[in-house]
Structure 1
Amino acid sequence: MSNQIPFETPGSRPGVRGPGRPKIRILVVDDSVVIRRFLAHALNEEPGFEVVGFAVNGAQALTKAAELKPDVITLDIEMPEMDGLETVRRLRQQASKACVIMCSTLTSRGASATIDALVMGANDYVTKPCHNGPMEAALKTLTDELVPKIRQFFDPHLAVPRLPAAAASSPRKTAAPLAAGPHFVKAPLPKIVAIGVSTGGPTALMEIMRQFPASFPLPVVIVQHMPPLFTKLLADRLNDQCSLEVMEASAGLPVKAGRVVIAPGDFHMRLRRSTSKEVSVVLDQGPQENSCRPAVDVLFRSVGELYDGAAIGVILTGMGQDGLHGVEQLKSKGAYIVAQDRSSSVVWGMPGAVVEAGLADAVLGLREVVPEIFRQVAR
């Protein structure tokens, strides 16, 4: 790959991303000319991508978004005149359907602003390359992270096909009945709620966690795919906005009713029961599973082993299939499984995999997930 970066000339050639499919149109927003050129070069090199415009601040981005109607907006956080947070807020007020991917520095300030942007409606984020070192290495790092983030919203191979139209039209959808046999047993009364989520997670978690009252009688454990620092900030945001106590997990932290525990970035989270019968957190940095650490599968397997199926497993929006094997184990022990539906998911990979495997007891819109949890707890 050449180190030479082209001038900022948006692509204009018609193209396809498969038979009869138009290219994914991208608007790049950043006050740094170096970053704009990096992104233009990286994205225009990708088959099926086309950078159709640039903006140097949020005010320009709003104008360009209305004019060009891009499919994707890569959005810097720190910009003059109008920063990325205000831009996200206004884009969503204007009902823009563009997928917004935040570009932030991997610092405490950058991570905090990124969490705010995700809660406001941004779809995903990438971290900017440092300006030190070879340009080619920085460009490759950015490309390797950004390209899959964009493709996840459009590539049918990264998500599971839609439910049949008849199922999708039902307000409360359920999976097809599971085949009778010894593999699946009736769900016992739940003693814990375990949640797995990835792309679109901060917004989804904020919406559902606000519905839980302080008197909720079960513990809640969560894996959200995020790096270190981000998970702590997400837990703090949720704790500020929710009635339940929300904490990033630490080794030995008790898991108890009314407490929400989020796995820390770069650590798998498991649960164990001590001789006093208290359940607490165990953390490790074992091998990644499904290219993830923390992994939903790791947590769900642990919940299945410890609670023997007396659990509610919830799979929310996210790319890939992390959580599928963990759900299989939970389901085999009699746990009740809820999957988010496609229409309310940012990416229907993780919940879609569970639905297609016939493991979901309920397939629900995001706003229906917590009422269903309450129904199962009240049994």
Structure 2
Amino acid sequence: MQSPYRVMVVDDSAVIRGFLTRWLKEEDDIEVVASAGNGAIALKEFEKHHPEIVVLDIEMPEMDGMTALPKLIELDRNVKVIMASTLTLRNADISMRALAKGAADYVPKPESTREAGEKEVFHRDLIAKVRALGATRRRKLGEDLPSVGGGAAVVPSLAAQASSAPTIYKGAEIKLRSHNAGLFPKVLAIGSSTGGPQALFSVFEKLKGKLSLPVFITQHMPATFTAILAEHLTKIAGMKCAEAVDGEKIEGGRIYLAPGDWHMTVVKGADGEKISLNQNPPENFCRPAVDPMLRSLVEVYGSRILTVILTGMGQDGKLGCEQLANLGGYVIAQDEETSVVWGMPGAVATAGLSNAVVSLNDIPAAVENALSGRPS
């Protein structure tokens, strides 16, 4: 077995450090090499043990997580930092800023470690993100991945981990669909997960002032975080972005963001298209999920949908893109090199459902071309 992923846990609560460390140590492919009660201690431990992944609390004495974050990245620009915070508006905002400053992802800590359901979700998400980010780092550096249970090394995804059926994306052949330029898209739909906020900020910064159609985004996030994400996108995109509201009418020049814990769909009524929210069971272990959004858009707009699948774990969005591809809609997938985790876009690209697989920097131009009837 190849060496396990090296993790450091940083939290001022000895109780939280304890159960995080215990959970991580239970996995054969993960090793906790250090723990620390604040950022200052974490920096010293980092230089001793050189962890690949750091689970970093936000609020700590002496040196908090936001102060420690850039110092950790300075020590190792390839380190993957997962911010851990409780679900408050303040911490959600700090987490968004941490992502913009180089953190790879975040995990919302359960309000109570006694709640079995909350602990189970947090446990599953933490393990999945450590594995996915560790795999991304090692592949970038050309290092071997640890095997799981004696099997082949894989790129794990949230869905794959839960189903015990991992998917290998590295080196998979990408088959692009041809596209016959015809009717212009009526809407833009975007799906994203791990690394998604940073990718969304990058895309909309370059598209500022260039979009007049309705935009629908499903980003895997809890409720408190989606509210903050909407605020940040409004500032960056120069167009109103808000959590979608059940029953609201669809308008051009607006960004509708799926609220945390709700699937966002679109329905057509007598007086036009409207948002319809539901709390149907999670799909791909996620709520909100991309697939329900895409299915509903296909029912309302047919092939006249431009879809972008950004970085993220798992394969949410693949089935929706399959429906869209069968109708002749246009799909853009983020490439592996610029994805934090090439799960969602990789699933679409390797299934031959995308018309273009491009870098994050090139996605805005690809969107403009597709909207103007000049898809590449």
Q: Is the pair's TM-score, using the shorter chain for normalization, greater than 0.5?
A: yes
Distance 2:245 2:184 in 1: 28
Deviation per CA, 1:160-215, whole angstroms, max 9, x where unpaired?
42346xx9xxxxxxx53548xxxx87653111110000111111111111112224
Distance 1:377 1:138 in 2: 42
What residue in structure 2 maps to residue 162 of structure 1? 170
Secondary structure class of the residue paired with 2:206? coil
What residue in structure 2 maps to residue 231 of structure 1? 226
Q: Please list, as runs of the form range in 1=range in 2, the aligned pairs for 1:1-379 lying within 5 A after superposition.
A: 19=1, 21-94=2-75, 96-130=77-111, 133=114, 142-153=122-133, 154=135, 155-158=154-157, 160-163=168-171, 175-178=174-177, 188-277=183-272, 279-379=273-373
Q: Which amino acid counterpart does residue 282 of structure 2 have in structure 1?
A: Q
Distance 2:87 2:292 in 1: 26
Q: How many residues align?
A: 345
Distance 2:121 2:185 in 1: 43
Q: Which amino acid counterpart does residue 232 of structure 1 have in structure 2?
A: A
Query: Shift in Å at residue 361 of structure 1?
Result: 0.5
Structure 2: unaligned runs, 5 residues or longer: 136-153, 158-166
Secondary structure class of the residue paired with 2:125? helix
Q: Which structure carries more helix by proportion?
A: 2
Distance 1:139 1:263 in 2: 24
Deviation per CA, 1:221-265, whole angstroms, max 9, x where unpaired?
000011111111111111123212211111122322221111001
TM-score under structure 1 length normalisation: 0.84
Structure 1: unaligned runs, 5 residues or longer: 1-18, 168-174
Query: Shift in Å at residue 287 of structure 1?
Result: 1.8
Deviates more, 1:37-46 or 1:193-202: 37-46
Seen in structure 2, the aligned counterparts of structure 1 residues 325 and 133 have a Cα distance that, compared at 3 Å, is closer
Secondary structure class of the residue paired with 2:190? strand
Deviation per CA, 1:6-45, whole angstroms, max 9, x where unpaired?
xxxxxxxxxxxxx3x1111011111222222222222222
Distance 2:235 2:212 in 1: 20
TM-score under structure 2 length normalisation: 0.84
Q: Which amino acid counterpart does residue 35 of structure 1 have in structure 2?
A: I
Distance 1:323 1:161 in 2: 16
Distance 1:177 1:44 in 2: 41
Seen in structure 2, the aligned counterparts of structure 1 residues 243 and 293 have a Cα distance that, compared at 3 Å, is same
Distance 2:235 2:208 in 1: 14
Deviation per CA, 1:244-302, whole angstroms, max 9, x where unpaired?
2211111122322221111001111111233233x221111112211111110111111
CA contact (8 A) 1:228 1:266 kept: yes
What residue in structure 2 maps to residue 6 of structure 1? none
Distance 1:255 1:137 in 2: 35
Deviates more, 1:345-354 or 1:25-34: 25-34
Query: Shift in Å at residue 321 of structure 1?
Result: 0.9
Distance 2:122 2:186 in 1: 43
CA contact (8 A) 1:42 1:139 kept: no
Query: Shift in Å at residue 307 of structure 1?
Result: 1.1
Secondary structure class of the residue paired with 1:152? helix
Q: Which amino acid counterpart does residue 22 of structure 2 have in structure 1?
A: H
